[in-house]
C-alpha cells in the first residue's frame, strides 16, 4: 500500500510536470520546426499565442507573420506539442515568430481583450450580418454592441469595387464550449465547470421553452453532440441564425435549425426541441449535474489522479482553463485508468476561420472583454 501511494504521487505529479514554466517571451525570426498538432489563422503572434493557450494540448507555436514571403501562408498559426513540452529544435527563420502557451502562467484571462485592428487584412468568411458604416470605428462599435459579433471586416473609402466601400461585415465564431465527442461509456462520469461560459451574462433571468418528446423536422443549420438538451439550448442561443433546435437523447445529436417563418412540432419519443433565449441570463444550474455513464471524449488538457468525481468537478471549477471533465471510476473495465480526472477544454476566444491579405479592408475584434475606457 505504501509503495502504491508513492507511485500514485509520482504519477499525479508527472501529469502536470511537463512545460510548467511560465514563458511569455515571443521569439522573433525563430522557428520551432515540426511537431504540429494543427494550424489555425491568427492576425498576429500575440493572437496565435492566445489560441495556443486556449487549445487543450498546445504547448508552443510558430506563427507566419504578414511579412513572411516564402509562400502564401501568411497568418498561419501552427500549434505544437512534444512529449517533453519543449520544442525538439529551434532554428533561425525570417518572417516567423514562436512562443509558448500561457497555460502554466495561470493568470492570463481566458477571455482576452483583443484591441488591435489590422489594415489590409481580411477575416474571410463567417459573416452573419452586413451593413454600411461611415468609418472603421463605427464598424468596430457595431461589433462590440452586437452580442453575437466576435470579429469584423470593414471595406474602407478607397476600396474597389466601389459599390462595397464602407461595408461592415459582422462575423461569428463559437464563444461557448462544444463537446466534440459524447459517448455512452460504463464507469465514467462527465460534467462541466460551473464557470464554463455557456450563455450571456445578464441581470434579467429567463427560462427557455423546451418541448419534451417533440421533434422539429427539417430546416437544418448545424449539428453538434451534446449530452443534454440544456447544452444544445446554450449553443442555439449563442448562434445568430439558430431559430430553434432538437436534441436526440439516443445518440446525443444537437441539431440547430434555421427557419424564421414557421416551426412545425411533431411528437417523437427521445427528442427534446426548444426555442433559444437571448439577451437574458439562462438558468445554468445544469452545469453542476454530473452525467453518469457519459464520456466527453478527447480535448484533454491533462489528467490528475483523485478519489472521486466530486473532487474532479471541483478541480475543473478551480482551473481557469478547464471547461468540462471526465472522471474514470473503479467501475470502468480497464483498471489502468481508474481515478483519472481528465480536464478538458476547447477554444472559445474569437478565432477567424481564414485570414488573408486584401487591400483597403481593415479587420478587428469586439471590445466587450476590454476594460471600459480603453478603446471605444
Ligand atoms: C440519431 O438518431 C436518430 C434516430 O433516433 C436518427 O434519425 C439520426 O440519423 C441519428 N443521427 C446520427 C448522426 O447518428
Is residue 251 within 6 Å of ligand 1 at its C-beta?
Answer: yes
Q: What CATH number does residue 270 fall under?
A: 3.50.4.10
Of the three residues 247, 262, 280, the one that is the final residue of a domain is 280
Q: What ligand 1 atom has the least distance to the C-alpha of 251?
A: 1
Alpha carbons within 13 A on the beta-carbon side of 61: 34
- Rounded to the nearest angstrom, the distance between the alpha carbon of 276 and the centre of ligand 1 is 22
Q: Does residue 76 sit within a domain?
A: yes
- Rounded to the nearest angstrom, the distance between the alpha carbon of 211 and the centre of ligand 1 is 18
Cell numbers of 203, please? 441581470
Where b means 16+ CB within 10 Å and e means fewer, 112-144 reads bebeebbeebbbbebeebeeebeebebbbbbbb
The pLDDT value recorded for residue 176 is 95
83 and 36 part of one domain: yes
- Rounded to the nearest angstrom, the distance between the alpha carbon of 221 and the centre of ligand 1 is 16
Q: Does residue 356 sit within a domain?
A: yes
| β 91-100/127-132 pair status | unpaired
Local confidence pLDDT in tens for the 376 residues of the chain = 344 434 443 344 444 444 468 999 999 999 999 999 999 999 999 999 999 999 999 999 999 999 999 999 999 999 999 999 999 999 999 999 999 999 999 776 778 999 999 999 999 999 999 999 999 999 999 999 999 999 999 999 999 999 999 999 999 999 999 999 999 999 999 999 999 998 877 889 998 899 999 999 999 999 999 999 999 999 999 999 999 999 999 999 999 999 999 999 999 999 999 999 988 898 899 999 999 999 999 999 999 999 999 999 999 999 999 999 999 999 999 999 999 999 999 999 999 999 999 999 999 999 999 986 544 4
Q: Does residue 82 sit within a domain?
A: yes
How far is CA 108 from each of CA 46, 49, 99, 104, 342, rounded to the nearest angstrom? 12, 11, 15, 9, 21
6 and 94 part of one domain: yes
Cell numbers of 207, please? 427560462
The pLDDT value recorded for residue 12 is 40
Among 213, 215, 250, 253, the mutation site with the greatest number of ligand 1 atoms within 8 A of its Cβ is 253
The pLDDT value recorded for residue 20 is 67
Q: Does residue 326 sit within a domain?
A: no
What string of DSSP letters covers 240-263? TT--EEEEETTT-EEEEE--SS--
56 and 82 part of one domain: yes
Q: Does residue 286 sit within a domain?
A: no
100 and 167 part of one domain: no
What are 16's strand-pairing partners?
Answer: none
Q: What ligand 1 atom has the least distance to the C-alpha of 271?
A: 5
309 Cβ partners below 8 Å, 6+ apart?
189, 191, 290, 327, 329, 341
Cell numbers of 316, please? 475543473
84 and 7 part of one domain: yes
Q: Does residue 273 sit within a domain?
A: yes
CA–CA dist 88, 34 (Å, integer): 8
CA–CA dist 151, 41 (Å, integer): 13
- Rounded to the nearest angstrom, the distance between the alpha carbon of 249 and the centre of ligand 1 is 10
Of the three residues 105, 138, 166, the one that is the final residue of a domain is 105
Of the three residues 105, 139, 165, the one that is the final residue of a domain is 105
24 and 99 part of one domain: yes
- Rounded to the nearest angstrom, the distance between the alpha carbon of 294 and the centre of ligand 1 is 18
The pLDDT value recorded for residue 51 is 97
Q: Is the peptide bond before 161 cis (omega within 30 degrees of 0)?
A: yes
- Decide: 58 and 81 in contact? Cβ < 8 Å: yes
pTM higher than 0.85, yes or no? yes
Query: Which residue's alpha carbon is at the smallest distance from atom 1 of ligand 1?
Result: 251
77 and 137 part of one domain: no
126 and 97 part of one domain: no
Q: What ligand 1 atom has the least distance to the C-alpha of 270?
A: 5
| β 281-282/205-206 pair status | parallel
CA–CA dist 157, 104 (Å, integer): 44
Q: Is the peptide bond before 70 cis (omega within 30 degrees of 0)?
A: no
Query: How many Cβ atoms from other residues are within 10 Å of residue 55's Cβ?
Result: 25
81 and 8 part of one domain: yes
131 and 219 part of one domain: no
Q: Does residue 189 sit within a domain?
A: no
φ/ψ of 189, rounded to 5, equals -130, 130
Q: Does residue 192 sit within a domain?
A: no
Q: Which of 323, 340, 264, 336 is nearest to 111 (CA)?
A: 323
DSSP state of 335: G
124 and 79 part of one domain: no
Total number of domains in the chain: 3
Query: Which residue's alpha carbon is at the smallest distance from atom 14 of ligand 1?
Result: 251
**Domain membership of residue 163 as a residue range:** 117-174+350-365
Is residue 253 within 6 Å of ligand 1 at its C-beta?
Answer: yes
- Decide: 132 and 123 in contact? Cβ < 8 Å: no
Q: What separation, in Å, do the N-terminal and C-terminal C-alpha atoms of the chain show?
A: 61
Query: How many Cβ atoms from other residues are within 10 Å of residue 286's Cβ?
Result: 18
12 and 90 part of one domain: yes
| β 300-305/266-267 pair status | unpaired
- Decide: 122 and 357 in contact? Cβ < 8 Å: yes
Amino acid at each position: 500500500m505504501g509503495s502504491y501511494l508513492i507511485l500514485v504521487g509520482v504519477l499525479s505529479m508527472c501529469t502536470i510536470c511537463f512545460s510548467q514554466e511560465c514563458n511569455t517571451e515571443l521569439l522573433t525570426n525563430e522557428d520551432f520546426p515540426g511537431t504540429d498538432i494543427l494550424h489555425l489563422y491568427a492576425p498576429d503572434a500575440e493572437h496565435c499565442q492566445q489560441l495556443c493557450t486556449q487549445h487543450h494540448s498546445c504547448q508552443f507555436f510558430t506563427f507566419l507573420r504578414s511579412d513572411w514571403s516564402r509562400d502564401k501562408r501568411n497568418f498561419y498559426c501552427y500549434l505544437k506539442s512534444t512529449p517533453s513540452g519543449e520544442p525538439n529544435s529551434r532554428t533561425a527563420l525570417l518572417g516567423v515568430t514562436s512562443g509558448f502557451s500561457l497555460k502554466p502562467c495561470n493568470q492570463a484571462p481566458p477571455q482576452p481583450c483583443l484591441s488591435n485592428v489590422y489594415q489590409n487584412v481580411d477575416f474571410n468568411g463567417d459573416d452573419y450580418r452586413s451593413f454600411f458604416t461611415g468609418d472603421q470605428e463605427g464598424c468596430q462599435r457595431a461589433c462590440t454592441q452586437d452580442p453575437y459579433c466576435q470579429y469584423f471586416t470593414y471595406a474602407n473609402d478607397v476600396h474597389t469595387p466601389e459599390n462595397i466601400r464602407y461595408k461592415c461585415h459582422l462575423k461569428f465564431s463559437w464563444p461557448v464550449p462544444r463537446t466534440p465527442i459524447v459517448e455512452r461509456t460504463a464507469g465514467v462520469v462527465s460534467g462541466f465547470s460551473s464557470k464554463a461560459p455557456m450563455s450571456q451574462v445578464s441581470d434579467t433571468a429567463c427560462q427557455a421553452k423546451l418541448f419534451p418528446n417533440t421533434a422539429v423536422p427539417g430546416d437544418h443549420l448545424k449539428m453538434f453532440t451534446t449530452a443534454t438538451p440544456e447544452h444544445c439550448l446554450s449553443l442555439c442561443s449563442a448562434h445568430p441564425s439558430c431559430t430553434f433546435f432538437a436534441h436526440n437523447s439516443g445518440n446525443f445529436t444537437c441539431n440547430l435549425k434555421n427557419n424564421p417563418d414557421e416551426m412545425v412540432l411533431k411528437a417523437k419519443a427521445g427528442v427534446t426541441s426548444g426555442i433559444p433565449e437571448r439577451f437574458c441570463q439562462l438558468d445554468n444550474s445544469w452545469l453542476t449535474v454530473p452525467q453518469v455513464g457519459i464520456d466527453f471524449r478527447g480535448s484533454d488538457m491533462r489528467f490528475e489522479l483523485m478519489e472521486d468525481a466530486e473532487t474532479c468537478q471541483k478541480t475543473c471549477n478551480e482551473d481557469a482553463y478547464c471547461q468540462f471533465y471526465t472522471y474514470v471510476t473503479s467501475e470502468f473495465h480497464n483498471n489502468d485508468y481508474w481515478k483519472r480526472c481528465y480536464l478538458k477544454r476547447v477554444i472559445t476566444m474569437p478565432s477567424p476561420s481564414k485570414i488573408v491579405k486584401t487591400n483597403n479592408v481593415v479587420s478587428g475584434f469586439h471590445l466587450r472583454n476590454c476594460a471600459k475606457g480603453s478603446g471605444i
